[in-house]
Amino acid sequence: MFLAHVNSLQASIFSSLAILSLLLAFVMLGSHWLRNYVYAFAAESWLIAVLSAAVGYFGGYPELYAIAFLTAIFRGLVLPYLLMRIIDRLHVKREVHAILQPSSSLVVGALLVMFAFVIANHMNRQAPPAGYVVVLALTIMISMKFLGFLMLSVRNEAVSQILALLVLENGIFLGSQILVPGMPMLIEIVILFDLLIVVACFGMLVRFLLVHAGTTSSRELKRLVG
């Protein structure tokens, strides 16, 4: 476990990258505009790529450079490009009928992060300084889950829901770079490609939704109940 030998400089680099990505999740939470979500997601992916590279450099895992490269290309460029194409096709620029206003969802998001911290704190038994990084990584993993689910439940537009799903995945990916950098590379690469397929499938489905259901807002998808 390489975190056991982490020094304070490395700990602060990892922490600040992780915290910046969490902040970007809040940017997504606090905006109405679909394009902003995509930009924030792209920036978050780039931060994760930097983090992978940093962990690879300090922890002595050269294969993480490859992961960092793939993350930057796929999550940082290809996925945002695909999402932008979906947005262009839909002619929807912003969330109109979000259930929670951005300001209130920021407050709820903050509360969820605190809750995530409490859970993370219970799951760790390592001493500082490694313990700090571990708790932070766990907090961010769990709180990105909460934020993703929050976005799923208060946003209606199809694109917002895809992005919320990607936030769910980003949290896991980010945390796993810090906690388990030695995870077999095969799995990480397959998960990256899997994500690409997921977004492609979503793109096709969005088109079906538009043609056959006549809407891309989950508010209006209410034929099936009970």
Which of 36, 176 has the CB closer to another protein?
176
Q: Cβ of residue 125: shortest distance to another protein, in angstroms?
A: 5
Give me the count of residues in the chain.
226
Which of 53, 163 has the CB closer to another protein?
163
Which of 103, 226 has the CB closer to another protein?
226
Say which amino acid occupies 102: P
Applying CB under 8 A, the residues found at the interface with another protein are 1-2, 119, 122-125, 141-142, 145, 148-149, 152, 158, 161, 164-165, 168-169, 171-172, 175-176, 179-184, 187, 190-191, 194, 197-198, 201-202, 204-205, 208-209, 212-214, 218, 221, 223-224, 226
Which of 24, 168 has the CB closer to another protein?
168
Look at residues 171, 155, 158, 146 and name the one whose alpha carbon lies nearest to residue 199: 158
Helix (H, G, I), strand (E, B) or coil at 124: coil
The residues, ordered by sequence, that sit 6+ positions from 9 with a Cβ below 8 Å of its Cβ are none
Which of 40, 199 has the CB closer to another protein?
199
Q: Cβ of residue 51: shortest distance to another protein, in angstroms?
A: 15
Tokens read off for 195: 């994500």
Q: Cβ of residue 211: shortest distance to another protein, in angstroms?
A: 8
Q: Cβ of residue 189: shortest distance to another protein, in angstroms?
A: 11
Q: What is the 3-state secondary structure (H, E, C) of 24-84?
A: HHHHHHCCCEHHHHHHHHHHHHHHHHHHHHHHHHHHCCCHHHHHHHHHHHHHHHHHHHHHH
Q: Angle, nearest 10°, between helix axes 158-179 and 34-59?
A: 10
Which of 79, 168 has the CB closer to another protein?
168
Q: Is residue 38 within 8 Å of residue 163, measured between CB atoms?
A: yes
Q: Cβ of residue 98: shortest distance to another protein, in angstroms?
A: 16
Q: Cβ of residue 103: shortest distance to another protein, in angstroms?
A: 24
The residues, ordered by sequence, that sit 6+ positions from 209 with a Cβ below 8 Å of its Cβ are 158, 215, 216
